[in-house]
Amino acid sequence: MIRSALTLAAALLSLYPQAAPAQAASPQTSASAHIAEPPNPSKLHLIRRFMQLTGLQRRLDTGSFLERYAIPGGPMWQSPRAGSQDGVTFLQLLERRIAALDRAYARHRATYQRDYENHINWEFTEAELEEIVAFLSRPAGQHYLDGSWRMEAYVGTSVEELEEQIVREAVSSMPN
């Protein structure tokens, strides 16, 4: 619930950037390469390898990133077209929504592929991609990816109540 509210707030702030507080780039932030021309074949190979190693390609191939819309309480449960629930198990209802997402996503999948490939091309030089792909291909790189995912999942779960408390404290400290 809190994360949904924060996501909505971030989206609204992006529509009205003057309302967002100015943030200085951290010293660790690297500038994008801003490469506009299409990648050569070797860079395109690196882009696709990067996408495979990071799991991005799997998410694009399956459309799994859209499944959040099929969870109970989400937009696919609010629709009048959600269908009758009489005699249907919860799992069947969920599978119905995921199947509908899969069908709709199939028509747009190429757009996601193109946009991610274009952005990775724009973001990184070929030399940077060579280094990144080499690192991610090694056991330490795979451990980094796996460990990062586990860390985010663990910490995100372990501090969820704390985040809710922080928001309650922030709201109560706001002037009327």
Structural domain includes residue 125: yes
Handedness of CA 11, 14, 17, 21 (dihedral sign): positive
Structural domain includes residue 57: yes
Q: Determine the structural domain holding residue 176 and report its residue range.
A: 139-176
Structural domain includes residue 70: yes
Structural domain includes residue 148: yes
Same domain as 45, residue 127: yes
User: What are the pLDDT tens digits along the chain (176 aa)?
Assistant: 444 443 433 433 343 333 334 444 556 778 999 999 999 999 999 999 999 999 999 999 999 999 989 888 888 888 766 666 678 888 988 899 999 999 999 999 999 999 999 999 999 999 999 999 999 999 999 999 999 989 999 998 999 999 999 999 999 999 87
Q: What is the pTM of this model?
A: 0.71
Cα(52)–Cα(43) distance, integer angstroms:
14
Structural domain includes residue 160: yes
Same domain as 116, residue 165: no
Structural domain includes residue 169: yes
The total of structural domains in the chain comes to 2
